[in-house]
Structure 1
Amino acid sequence: MDNAVEVQNLSKSFGTVRSNQNISLTVKKGEILALLGENGSGKSTFVNMLAGIYTPESGTISINGEVQHFSSPQDAIAAGIGMVHQHFKLVEVMSALENITLGERKAGFFIQKNKIAEKIRQLAEQFGFAIDLDKKIYTMSVSEKQTVEIVKILYQGARILILDEPTAVLTPQETENLFSTLRRMRSEGCSIIIITHKLNEVMSISDRVTVLHKGKLAGTVCTKDTSEEELAGMMIGEKVSLSYEYIKVPLSEKPLLSIKNLSFVNKSGAKRLD
């Protein structure tokens, strides 16, 4: 089985709004799939069903060849799929270690704390993350918080990750560092779905691209066989051109602004001429 995720005819409506209509796609093991679409195209609804936040009205989700029925994010994590939201879900006053192991406070946790921390460090090293487990969340940069979120999901056992607009608040250098880490995760067999509006990032990081348009599947293409223009056209439903040219506008011979005999009166009442 080469597919980590296989979705068949997934549909979801909210009242009279059909957010997703018969969406089908696959994500291969060791692949980065970009999910593209305009605002309102149905991307968020789709990944929320994959992550167990929404329940589909129809269709099937298979993880590693087994059909799954998620009723919560915990069900999705148990099946091996987790989501890093654009707005992080971390407890600011806690440390990285406490956030990663939150909900795992079983008997003997504090006795085993050093062993658990070492396990997390080994996991971080395997995938190329730099993380200070003792550091409080509120003292961290955005990229550090994102690292904690990703490591938390990996620690819970997920090897299929959904990243929602992961570069939205990152600097260019932080973005490149994240992409280097994602490539390493791919080489370690992880499957990644990345949601982004940035076409240049799609071309840089993804293996394939799935595009949604008005709640429907517009298509899936191999990144190496497509272009930003083609992807933009799939997103909006018509052919577009991203090329541009400079138009030289002749300057008028007449001055745009002319000032003569300017003067003003200061606070003391003295008149000054310039």
Structure 2
Amino acid sequence: MQKSLYDYPQYYDLAFRDETDDEADFIEAAWAKFGDGPLKHLLEPGCGSGRLVVELARRGYDVTGFDLSEPALRYTRSRLRRIDRTAEVLNADMIDFSLPRKFDMAYCTMNTFRHLLTENDAQSHLQMVADHLRPGGLYLLGFHLLPPDADEECIERWRGSSGKTSVCFTLRVLDFCRRTRLESLRISMLAKTPRGEIRGRSEFQLRLYKAAQFKTLIAKVPDLELLEVFDFDYDIDEPQRLDNELADAVFVFRRRDSNA
């Protein structure tokens, strides 16, 4: 029986590590453009294998990340020890978490948000993040939107390698329903290592969002003000229009001051 992909965070890390510097650079650029004061305390809900937690800790930030996958959390902690950095790494749920501090910025990239399958869960998550940001704090949220001409039978592959180890992830859309706003996916992994091949597979659902549907959602969380939208090129000088042409979106929100 194949194990779940969540049992192999090191290979997920390998496949997507080329994105890490671009994402971390964009986080810093977004703060430079929209932030108020120094950037010190960062929060990552659904941090997975900890790519960004580790990189931002390496850059000297005080980072808190949480996830529900214990193998991923253990892997993140081991990577932090390896580079002699610290971060707070916790087991917590994206829709119901309570932390003792306020953060300057939160970020959630690479479609993690779409694992929240209902409007209530998505709204709860956005409100929880807002509640954990200081006034003027930012939330960077990245995920794929659904253009009208989206391919409903998509197959995608990601590859990565390091030394004598290589990995390939293959994503297939198993089911796609605009009415329920859910798509069912299967991701298969093949890792080739000096000790042999390792295979893993997971099936899960993601929520679908058209631009108008996401606008409706964010209107329900008035504590967050949408400042700008970018795409997965992560160019801070190239904002995008939030319309049906946009497929890969990175939203920059600011926490409103409730006393203003």
Which fold has the larger relative contact order, with Cα–Cα distance below 8 Å and residues 6 or more apart in sequence?
A: 1
- Bigger radius of gyration: 1
User: TM-score, structure 2 length as denominator?
Assistant: 0.31
User: TM-score, structure 1 length as denominator?
Assistant: 0.30
